[in-house]
Amino acid sequence: MNDNLIKNKITNYFRKTRFFDLSQIKVFVQSGVVLLVGTVLNEDDKEFAEFFAKRVDGVRNVISRVELMSEAITLQLPPLHSILSQA
């Protein structure tokens, strides 16, 4: 599965799920490596986002930069290419 299909599958599921609030998570994919960036309300939402992304066909690895809303005063990340090169 190519990167665009992986991203679309994850993003669409995050938008449609009624059980978890994953609307503030952005999804980036490069060579099958998924980067999740954003904030969620609680640990269950964070864990589910990571769990679901890992199970999508074609995903080689998931890097999570998802923070709990209460802990995310500022979200300062290194450039995307440096995060993905760590995978």
pTM of the model: 0.78
Structure tokens at 9: 């599958």
Helices 3-16 and 43-54: crossing angle in degrees, nearest 10, is 150
Backbone angles phi, psi at 9, to 5 degrees: -65, -45
**Where are the domains positioned within the chain?**
3-74
The domain at 3-74 falls in which architecture?
A: 2-Layer Sandwich (3.30)
Task: Render pLDDT for 34-85 as a digit per residue (tens, 0 to 9).
Answer: 999 999 989 999 999 999 999 999 999 999 999 998 765 545 556 656 666 7
Contact 2, 30 (CB under 8 A): no
